[in-house]
Amino acid sequence: MARSGRQQLLFRNPAPTVRIILVEYGLRRPVGDAKAWEAQLEHLIEIAELPMVTLQVLPFSAGAHHLMNGSLTLLWQEDGSAVAYMEGNQCSDLQEDPEDVTRSRLSYDRARDRSPPPPGSTAFIRGVLKEFRAS
């Protein structure tokens, strides 16, 4: 229920600007039954095509990266301040100190720079979906 509520945020007015980096592992490890997984990949493609969403896929070929131990969420407030939220296996950390947030942003930037641009990333997801359907 909470997930669908978060997804509705993409359609409010004004819509937020959202940048997402998915690691290839998340696209290649099916969760749930085949039908649900296929629908999830199709949904990612639809979301990637929204004008306020930038979605990139960090491929295995990028090698090791700074964010391998969990997920990172960066949020900018209207007043210009920012926070970083890191979450991993049984741990979480809200970073509010500007220096910590900057370090987290640099880790995000490095991951983004090692990912194909959005059109290539969407094509990558389409390729995974095609492989999944063929298997």
User: For residue 64, what pLDDT is reported?
Assistant: 85
Q: CA–CA separation, 74 vs 83, rounded Å? A: 6
Every domain of the chain and the residues it spans:
2-134
User: For residue 105, what pLDDT is reported?
Assistant: 93
For the entire predicted model, the pTM comes to 0.85
pLDDT lower than 70: segments of the chain: 1-7
The amino acid present at 111, given as its one-letter code, is A
Buried b (16+ CB within 10 A) or exposed e, 48-82: beeeebbbbbbbeebeeeebeeeebebeeeeeeeb
The amino acid present at 51, given as its one-letter code, is P
Peptide bond into 14 cis (omega under 30): yes
β-bridge pairing 70-76 and 82-88: antiparallel
Q: CA–CA separation, 73 vs 27, rounded Å? A: 19
User: For residue 16, what pLDDT is reported?
Assistant: 86
| Token pair listed for 103 | 């370090």
| Token pair listed for 21 | 């980096």
Q: What pLDDT, in 10s, does the model give residues 1-38? A: 455 566 677 788 888 889 999 999 999 988 889 999 99
User: For residue 90, what pLDDT is reported?
Assistant: 84
User: For residue 96, what pLDDT is reported?
Assistant: 95
